[in-house]
Amino acid sequence: MATKYIFVTGGVMSGVGKGVATASIAKILKSRGFSVTAIKIDPYVNVDAGTMNPTEHGEVFVLDDGMECDQDMGNYERFLDTSLSCANYMTTGSVYLSVINKERAMEYGGKCVEVVPQIPLEVISRIDKAAKKNKANIAIIEIGGTVGEYQNILFLEAIRILKIKKPKNVLLTLVSFVPSLGAGGTELKTKPTQYAVRSLESAGLHPDIILARASVPLDQKRKEKLEFMCGLQEGDVISAPNVESIYEVPINFEKDNISDRILKKLSLKAKNKDLADWRDLVKNIQNPNGEVKIGIVGKYFGSGDFVLTDSYISVLESVKHAAYSWNKKPIIEWLDSDTYEKDAKLLDELKNYDGIIVPGGFGNRGVEGKIKATEYCRKNKIPFLGLCLGLQLSVIEFARNVAGIKDATSREFDKKAKNAVIDIMEEQKKLLFEKHYGGTMRLGAYDCEVQPGTISHEAYKDWAGEKSGPYIISERHRHRYEVNDKYREILQKKGMTVAGINPKSNLVEIIEIKNHPFFVASQFHPEFKSRPLKPHPLFRSFINAACLPAGRQ
């Protein structure tokens, strides 16, 4: 069958959930028996998301092939339960770079290369390549930002051109915010959505379906008004109310029969409906048997009400996946590491949590507070999970306070350090000196050999099929510094277990602390491979230990 294209654009306001909507539509159509892939277009001149500030843009998600991309790609993978590639992500910068490189290589045959049509045609070409690579019947493409933004015009033009070329194969969905006013916030206002539709029409486009984002479900009268004022057919406005969990969204969309609307508009033959596993997940989320309280010690958020949770969105979702698998409601609180540097007495609050996570990050701000929190968890037998930087700080803490290397640190924090127990590999040093920062990162999937007799080996047995001997698993990385092999022997003699190594480079991938209910840290980012229906083994094992806090002092 010919590839079908579903574009998802935003209304007059960003941050209304286009990524979750795209992932949800993808999940629903996959459940109907179609091969589906999801693509994200970011309207930034950055070539990829690797240089974007997480406090402004949110988490940098990493794919198996090392592509640094937008956090929405994580939602696509989680909902579709699949691994995507760099073909599924593009930015304004990457599109322009590709066109310029083709022009330099004379691939346009000496013709004048113009913004229109070359840029929109390059966008269409990339979408087709992604669909072909993923063998997809349906490609769902999210365009970041809002319809009224100048930087989105060329992507809207790509939709317009594709609609002209393949009118029966293109569907346009608008995710638009419907604000509520009045007492109790029950008076829903449709004017912003009407304005968003007018903006689309000014670009030569008209939405086929509107996803109406609101604090409450849309009543029938508001649906009818939007259908009439925006020129839509009956049933083309889908209610998208706030929900407690994003995993409820596909179920909500299907209440308004969104898949039937899409299949009819794209002239697709109806197939089976099977969201049973998803419905079971949502039922489990809504009916927990107890709670588990997890603290996340980081620096990309402040204390109090203002918390930039998007900086660690994959960690947050991974904790949820694991908690749901044990039928627990996760209570997650964000702990600012800076406060522990200023007042060590505040560390006693860590005893209020069932488990503590120290996630990844870059730079030296707040690291001493994280090291103190790590030491507290080690000494007080609090279940602990370190991720990437969390492993590096665990090694530093152990080296200082157990192995007696008082000045142990990372080369990242002190370029002239005498005892850099965390260092950069020799082959990377020259690139770093020349400021080729991307070339010094270990990005994407690398193998890890998990050693028998460890907590990690027991955790991974379901993924590995309970085979005997070491497990070879593949995990995603995004870091520059490694455990310095020169110190490995002394650390192991003092009680640190190297539970996982890269079989090719012999680099440390997982460490554990002996005589502790759960103290595990990984150099890789396990959060990038967790799924709601397939929680990551390390997170699942961590949450299990947090639910059974026996053995604490």
Annotated catalytic residues are 388, 525, 527
CB-based contact 391:522 (threshold 8 Å): yes
Q: How far is residue 453's CA from residue 433's CA, in Å, rounded to a whole number?
A: 41
| Structure tokens given for 472 | 């070879």
Taking CA atoms, 475 is separated from 309, 387, 447, in Å, by: 23, 12, 6
**Half-sphere exposure at residue 94, Cβ-oriented, CA atoms within 13 angstroms:** 19
Taking CA atoms, 316 is separated from 62, 125, 395, 532, in Å, by: 16, 35, 24, 12
Taking CA atoms, 342 is separated from 369, 380, 410, 468, in Å, by: 8, 21, 21, 48
Q: How far is residue 421's CA from residue 58's CA, in Å, rounded to a whole number?
A: 30
| Structure tokens given for 501 | 């190594």
DSSP secondary structure string for all residues of 463-517? HHTS-SS-EEEEEEEEES-EE-GGGHHHHHHTTEEEEEE-TTT--EEEEEESSSS
Amino acid at 253: F
Give the residue among 233, 266, 37 at the shortest CA–CA distance from 166.
266
Coil, helix or strand for 334? strand
Amino acid at 443: L
Query: 90 has which bridge partners?
Result: 41
CB-based contact 124:21 (threshold 8 Å): no
Torsion angle (degrees, nearest 10) of CA 140, 145, 149, 152: -40
Q: How far is residue 165's CA from residue 398's CA, in Å, rounded to a whole number?
A: 63
Coil, helix or strand for 553? coil
The DSSP code for 442 is E
Q: How far is residue 29's CA from residue 35's CA, in Å, rounded to a whole number?
A: 8
CB-based contact 25:173 (threshold 8 Å): yes
Measured between its terminal Cα atoms, the distance across the chain in Å is 63
The DSSP code for 2 is P
CB-based contact 18:6 (threshold 8 Å): no
CB-based contact 535:318 (threshold 8 Å): yes
| Structure tokens given for 84 | 């995507």
Give the residue among 377, 10, 4, 378 at the shortest CA–CA distance from 197.
10
Residue with tokens 């996570």: 357
